[in-house]
């Protein structure tokens, strides 16, 4: 992502593929954001942008990047591999955390919650959504359901 693309994404605000954060929340909410993108179509968590879509930058970049790595590997089940990149805009560093659509869906947080992205927010997945995810990744086959006789 280049500066022009980042500025355009920030200007448009949060959407299905973009979540903006001034600073990182607690570990559970970071995991929620990562799992949410991995369970749907992937997306970018952009850190260092205020609620008013102003670039404020990331204060302790190394610490923030280590935290993202820790959460994506240890608080998401199964672990999610994310790509982190930085951009400098107006002497401020913005962190872009790229979360791909997961290849081992569904993902959940360590607390056992499954999330999906809906328009511009994350929400807990419904039972039907979880079934669709399992089916789309060929994890559940209804003709092989327990108790069925061949």
Cβ neighbours, 10 Å, residue 58: 21
Residue 69 has pLDDT above 70, yes or no: yes
Q: Give the pTM.
A: 0.87
Give 32-65 pLDDT, tens digit per residue.
Answer: 999 999 999 999 999 999 989 999 999 999 999 9
The pLDDT, as a whole number, for residue 97 is 98
What stretch of H or E contains 34?
Answer: helix 27-39
The pLDDT, as a whole number, for residue 134 is 80
The pLDDT, as a whole number, for residue 137 is 67
Check if CATH label 2.130.10.10 holds for domain 3-138: no
């Amino acid at each position: 992502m280049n500066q022009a693309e980042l500025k355009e994404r920030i200007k448009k605000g949060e959407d299905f593929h973009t979540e903006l954060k001034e600073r990182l929340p607690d570990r559970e909410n970071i995991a929620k954001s990562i799992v949410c993108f991995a369970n749907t179509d992937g997306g970018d968590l952009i850190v260092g942008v205020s609620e008013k879509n102003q670039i404020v930058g990331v204060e302790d970049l190394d610490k923030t990047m280590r935290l993202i790595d820790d959460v994506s590997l240890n608080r998401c089940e199964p672990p999610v591999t994310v790509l982190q990149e930085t951009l400098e805009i107006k002497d401020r560093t913005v962190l872009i955390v790229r979360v791909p659509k997961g290849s081992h869906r569904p993902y959940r947080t360590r607390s056992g919650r499954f999330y999906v992205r809906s328009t511009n927010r994350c929400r807990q997945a419904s039972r039907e959504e979880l079934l669709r995810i399992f089916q789309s990744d060929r994890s559940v086959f209804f003709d092989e359901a327990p108790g069925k006789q061949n």
